[in-house]
A and B are shown apart, each in its own frame.
Chain A
Amino acid sequence: NAGVTQTPKFQVLKTGQSMTLQCAQDMNHEYMSWYRQDPGMGLRLIHYSVGAGITDQGEVPNGYNVSRSTTEDFPLRLLSAAPSQTSVYFCASRTRGSSAGADTQYFGPGTRLTVL
């Protein structure tokens, strides 16, 4: 299994540009999430999904859109990039299993985004 993959690894945008951060997982996990991590800070939940076709807002959703058309993919779209969105973005997935032992959350390697 490749686990959780994210592309690109690095990206530089100009203010006002739009782009999509890709996230894919091959573990057939129902739950997927997007987080951002600003320098020296913890993780902030942007959006999450509990299954294909179902998404919901997290703690800091403004300026971002998501969709979940398949179980495997959960792209994050920046509508109009702003310098305040400079951050490291992590995608994560986990199973909705009934066993607590199956509840480990797996993270991708992250995308480092700079908005000038």
Chain B
Amino acid sequence: DAKTTQPNSMESNEEEPVHLPCNHSTISGTDYIHWYRQLPSQGPEYVIHGLTSNVNNRMASLAIAEDRKSSTLILHRATLRDAAVYYCILRDPPGNTNAGKSTFGDGTTLTVKP
């Protein structure tokens, strides 16, 4: 499986933007980039995903480097409720041998200061 590398922790001030980086230098051409977050004492929840183009949804934006070897999750205005562990993972497209296998690393723990 292609691996991802994320910083262990990051801090942000409330109401400020947050840029969470992820390196995936061994990504294959068909791997999707997914982001999940895990709030305290809960299971992970989906945030956003993309393949090549930048993506926006109501929760966040995903900026993907042109060579796809890195990506950045952008929270436009951090709130205290955004304090969580953020996971960047790569996923095979449907039909690939490992499509059903989904591994998570240790993620980035985001602390939001009031």
Contacts and interface: CB of A to CB of B under 8 A. Distances in A.
- Where chain B touches its partner, the secondary structure class is loop
8 contacts: A30-B100, A31-B99, A43-B104, A45-B103, A56-B101, A59-B103, A92-B44, A106-B46
Nearest to A97: B94
A103 B91 contact: yes
A108 interface: yes
Interface string B78-102: 0000000101000101110001111
A103 B32 contact: yes
A39 to B, nearest CB: 12
Contacts of A42: 85, 87, 104-107
A30 B106 CA distance: 26
B93 A58 contact: no
A3 B60 CA distance: 24
Interface in B21-37: 32, 34, 36
Interface in B8-43: 32, 34, 36, 42-43
Interface residues of A, number: 30
Interface in A2-61: 30-31, 33, 35, 41-45, 48-50, 56, 58-59
A49 B99 CA distance: 11
